[in-house]
Amino acid sequence: MLSFPFPRSGVLRCRGRDLAYGQRTLVMGIINVTPDSFSGDGIGGAVDVAVERAVRMVAEGADLIDIGGESTRPHARPVSDSEERARVVPVVEAVARAVSVPISVDTRKPKVAEAALAAGAHLINDVAGLQRDPEMASVVATFDVPIVVMHSPGEPWDVPWPATYADVVDDVRAYLDRSIQIALRAGVPFGQVIVDPGFGFGKSVDDNLTLLRRLGEFRSLGAPVLIGTSRKSTIGTILGVPVDERLEGSLATLPLAIAQGVDIVRVHDVRASARVVRMADAVVRGFVATGDR
């Protein structure tokens, strides 16, 4: 089953809060500063709640925190640059002071990314894979930070959702390769690019299961791989449960992803996820953590 060699290691330079990957799987904790998150955990602009949540996540095992100010759930409507900045920047400033792990900002907008990085963020998570606005790659290159390029076939209000693929893995891999080339042309070093196949974004249940089943094929791109399955609708459909009852299904996907060579998992429920990751890493990667987290 395990056909992918370990370790495949590297270091993401995060403005002094560097992340080493390869020896073990990294856990990214999600904080949504939106009023309409699909997962039901949006906290709006409550900075104190965000700080409390970030501190708890780090104590529970998060290696980095991902802050998002615009919902990307199906049928969500976009928000303006100014509104997203107003949600994100105060939270980034406060969380960056409260924790020592890198802060990622989940945004498709160059102006929001620039403001967040100026406020103290350490990397950008672009759900449009640098293919929505050409300025995003330039912002990332200027600040010399890592970038997560995720696959999405387009905005849910602009294109059929889910999209149609000739072969979902081949099509997504080709998209991500284009994203990598955009980053490189803008001056982003290859070692600063992370790829995410976009589980749940414009994909059917069968598409998502195929991505999870064939995650290892994305290693051919040469970049670290991130996956975000947490609480997604595919899990709800398979189990027949609402979003607040998808913990077990979410956890089940993590060792499957780790066995396929994923480097970073993006999760809502950090404590349980980090424990599953540690156990899976011991089996798959031969990494046994010492001490309690």
Between 46 and 189, residue with greater pLDDT: 189
Say if residue 78's pLDDT is above 60. yes
pLDDT in tens, 216-275: 999 999 999 999 999 999 999 999 999 999 999 999 999 999 999 999 999 999 999 999
Residues composing the chain:
293
Say if residue 282's pLDDT is above 50. yes
The CA distance from 160 to 28, in Å, is 29
Mean pLDDT of 93-107: 97
Residue 98: predicted pLDDT: 98
Average pLDDT, the chain: 91
What phi and psi, each to the nearest 5 degrees, are found at residue 64?
-160, 160
Residue 2: predicted pLDDT: 43
Catalytic residues: 232, 266
pLDDT in tens, 216-225: 999 999 999 9
Mean pLDDT of 101-125: 97
Domains along the chain with CATH numbers? 25-281 (3.20.20.20)
- Predicted structure pTM score: 0.93
Between 158 and 130, residue with greater pLDDT: 130
